[in-house]
Each structure stands twice: as structure tokens, then as C-alpha cells.
Chains A and B, each alone.
Chain A
């Protein structure tokens, strides 16, 4: 008994998000030019942001656009341009024989397993069956306050740890990408 409680607008939003996500994801794989892959990745990230908004995760949708599309993809593009690596990566060649076939079979098994697991539900979590459409309890009026309270109380230690992680990552990236000084040169 699955009552039709969802409206046409919800279906339309879902279809939009799905098209954006899937077309972008396939584009990332199929593009020969890394720049095109990065642009397709932006498309997927926007689709995920649409899906976030549709599920009343407004703040995360904003962060998704700002951090992912605004920072991470720009970093990708910056590295692609910096390396001059926008030469065409050969998509057609297959270095290992049968690699694509094996990858396809493995991925198909994985996805089928995930969907089967979801259909049976409460295998790990003991949660109610999601395939029978759980009732959304977060109100649709935005949840920035709720999320902020959770991050700064329950998850405060993890939040501080991420700050340290980001600092370490920045320092490590600078150290890695720095031009190496020759050892035989006299330090000026």
C-alpha cells in the first residue's frame, strides 16, 4: 500500500536532479578532455545540490555549490591548466585486457547489491523500511539552526578536528607542490 502522497512538483524536481546528476557523471567518464570532465563534474554537483534542496538540506546545498563547484572544481581546473595536461587522454585504449568488462561486472554487482540491500532495509541500522517511504520529520522551512546546533554541540570535537585537518592539508599541499631546491646549489 503505497499511497500517492507526493506531488507532481516533487517528481519534477527529482527528475531534474537525476538528469543533471547522471548526464554530468557520464560526461566526466566519457570526455576526452579533462577540462570538459571538470565542467561535467560541476553539472553533477549542481544536480546533487538540487537533490539536497528538495530534501530540505538548504545549508548543505549552499555549501555544496560554494565549496565544491566554487573551490574544488576551480582547483581541478587550475591544476589542469597549470600542468598543461589538457591533452587528450586516450579513452579508447585498454591497457589491461578485459579490464572494462571486469569493471562493468563488478560495478553492476555492487549497485545491484546496494539496491537489494535497500529494498530489504534494516539490515544494519534497525531502521524502518525506507522502501515504504518514511515520513519526513524535518520541516521544510530550512534547517541551518538545527544543523548549527548539532555541529557545535554534539559534534564539536569532530568539528575542531576538521579545522586541524584542513590546516595540515594546506601545509602539505604547499610542501608537495613547491618547486624543489637543488641540493647542490648554495642556499642564498
Chain B
């Protein structure tokens, strides 16, 4: 009836890879947050796939909590971005280097 779980897992792994690559290469804090969202979505897709495969609803409950934490993370993160932008009028993470040793 459904496609093998491995297909979804490979798709999630590729999505995680794309998100990680973006997080490593882009410099804008906003884009980096979006890439973190991509990685979190890859993990939730994996959770749901294992939930179906193993017949355990705990996987879907975990996804529920991941979503809540992602929402909280984005809220606080964007608040920090706004606060930083007020001071430096830039969202580039390369310019935040005051604490460099």
C-alpha cells in the first residue's frame, strides 16, 4: 500500500544534508534559521516514518514536541536578530565578532 520506509528516510537524510550545507555556507542569520527549520523538518519526517514502521505513536508525540520547541526557538532567535539589527543594521553573522579572543 505504501512505499518502503527507506525511501522516506533517504529523503529525510538528503533534506537534512541540504539544511546543514546551507547552515554552513550562508551568512545571513535569517537564512541560517530557515536552514535550521529544514533540518528539524528532516528529523520530524524521520520520526513519523519510524512511527509508522514500528507502529508506535511515541514517534508522532515526539514530532509534536519538536514542533513546539522549533516555534519557541524561532521566536527567541528572531527576537535576537531584531535586537542585533538595531545595533548594527546587518544580519550577517560574520560581523558579530566582538567576543573573538
A177 with B34: in contact, given A103-B25, A130-B9, A166-B68 (CB under 8 Å)? Answer: no
Write the chain A residue with the least CB distance to B68: A162
Write the chain B residue with the least CB distance to A63: B67
A169 with B76: in contact, given A130-B50, A147-B60 (CB under 8 Å)? Answer: yes
User: Interface code A112-136, partner B: CB below 8 Å = 1, 0 otherwise?
Assistant: 0011001100000001101101111
Which of A56, A80, A82, A85 sits near B52, CB closer than 8 Å?
A56
Q: Chain B residues with Cβ under 8 A from A11's Cβ?
A: 3
A14/B54 in contact, CB under 8 A: no
B43 CB, nearest partner CB in chain A, Å: 11
Name, among B6, B8, B50, B85, the residue most crowded by chain A CB atoms within 10 Å (CB to CB): B6
User: Interface code A36-74, partner B: CB below 8 Å = 1, 0 otherwise?
Assistant: 011001001100100110111101100110011001100
The CA-CA distance from A11 to B11 in the complex, in Å, is 13
The CA-CA distance from A138 to B52 in the complex, in Å, is 6
A111/B25 in contact, CB under 8 A: no
Q: Chain B residues with Cβ under 8 A from A141's Cβ?
A: none
A170/B75 in contact, CB under 8 A: yes
Write the chain A residue with the least CB distance to B19: A25
B57/A22 in contact, CB under 8 A: no
Interface residues of B in 4-53 (CB under 8 A from A): 4-11, 13-22, 24-28, 30-31, 33-35, 37-38, 41, 44-45, 48-53
Given contacts A10-B1, A72-B37, A136-B1, 5 further A-B contacts (CB under 8 A): A25-B15, A29-B25, A45-B41, A67-B67, A173-B79
26 A-B pairs (CB sep. < 8 Å): A6-B3, A21-B11, A22-B15, A28-B22, A41-B34, A51-B48, A55-B52, A57-B63, A59-B60, A67-B71, A75-B74, A75-B78, A85-B91, A89-B26, A89-B27, A103-B21, A103-B25, A114-B16, A130-B53, A133-B5, A134-B5, A134-B53, A137-B54, A147-B61, A175-B79, A176-B82
